[in-house]
Amino acid sequence: MSDVGACLDNAVVERFLVSLKHYWMLKIYQPTRKHMKKDVAEYRNITT
């Protein structure tokens, strides 16, 4: 949790998670948790 007045602390992580959800996870079929973990790792490598 961030302190009062430090509202931008989580902005980078929140933006990453929104992008992950909307642009990657909802468009690709995820049959198993193992498959999802692999796809998240790929997405993380693409965006960094």
Q: Write out the residue range of the structural domain in which residue 15 sits.
A: 11-47
Where in the chain does DSSP place strands (E)? Answer: none
- Would residue 6 count as lying in a domain? no
Q: Is residue 33 part of a domain?
A: yes
- Residue 17, in any domain of the structure: yes
Count of structural domains within the chain: 1
pTM exceeding 0.95? no
CB 41 within 8 A of CB 20: no
| More confident position, 5 or 45 | 45
Closest C-alpha to 38, from 25, 21, 47: 25
Is 24 within the bounds of a domain? yes
- Integer angstrom CA distances of residue 1 from 5, 8, 20, 21, 42: 12, 11, 22, 22, 28
What distance in Å separates the CA atoms of residue 20 and residue 23, rounded to the nearest whole number?
6
pLDDT tens across 4-32, in order?
Answer: 655 666 777 888 888 877 877 777 777 88
